[in-house]
Amino acid sequence: MSDNAEPQNEAWVDLSGYTPGGYRPGRGKLTQIVWYFVSVFVFESGWFPVSRLKCSILRCFGAKVGRNVTIKPNVRIKYPWRLNVGDHTWIGQESWIDNLGDVRLGSHVCLSQRAYLCCGGHDHRRRGFDLIVGDITLEDGSWVGAGATVLGGVTVGTNAIAAAGSVVTKDVPAAKVVGGVPARVLGDRERPGGLGIGAGG
């Protein structure tokens, strides 16, 4: 090994003085604390299954939530004031919306069980492990499968699908199906038959 080579047995990052830099959650400490306790003891509870009441709680904390939204038990949302949900959208059991950035779920979106939307990350090239935050958008009619992860800065296009267990690191074009780690395009989503959304009587 040359004299200039980096030692392999030492940590390349220093977390001892980590700070989030200029990041701001969007609400003060008191609101964050109140939301934490409401979330843990009420919103996330399996004993509180009523979606309409959960939507009302989210709105009280600044979320924009549309009509007929279904929220299953044990859903976690970091900052509701950074959440925008359209109409007729489903948020599946044990999903985690870790929204340091803004998250927008369009209408008729399905977020399946244990899906993870992760807006935050870290710059591994920086010794201070600097925080990186990106917004996430799931456009109308998209579906994020069970156990899939969508990272910050990603848009999942209209009617696109992220397969179960996939890790989505870049934008998904409309009506495409992606899967794998990292996710790649597997094919096109076929238009469903029968009575479609917006079909005439």
Contact assessment for residue 67 and residue 52, using Cβ atoms and an 8 Å cutoff: no
Structural domain of 150: 29-188
102 in a domain, yes or no? yes
124 annotated active-site: no
CATH number of the domain enclosing 170: 2.160.10.10
Give the pLDDT score at 5: 62
Number of domains in the chain: 1
Is residue 17 in a domain?
no
Dump the DSSP string for 75-93.
-EES-GGGEEE-TT-EE-T
Is residue 179 a part of any domain in this protein? yes
| Calpha distance 65→83 (Å, rounded) | 8
Distance CA 162, CA 73 (A): 22
Q: Residue 199: inside a domain, yes or no?
A: no
pTM for this predicted structure: 0.89
In a domain, 33, yes or no: yes
The answer to whether residue 55 is domain-embedded is yes
State how far the alpha carbon of 166 is from the alpha carbons of 29, 144, 172, in Å: 34, 9, 12
Q: What does the pLDDT profile of the chain (201 residues) look like in tens digits? A: 455 666 678 999 999 888 888 899 999 999 999 999 999 999 999 888 899 999 999 999 999 999 999 999 999 999 999 999 999 999 999 999 999 999 999 999 999 999 999 999 998 998 889 999 999 999 999 999 999 999 999 999 999 999 999 999 999 999 999 999 999 999 999 998 865 544 333
Catalytic residue among 88, 108, 122, 124: 122
Evaluate whether residue 47 is within a structural domain: yes
Residue 47: exposed, middle, or buried by beta-carbon count in 10 A (0-12, 13-18, 19+)? exposed
The continuous run of DSSP H or E covering 30 comes out as helix 29-38
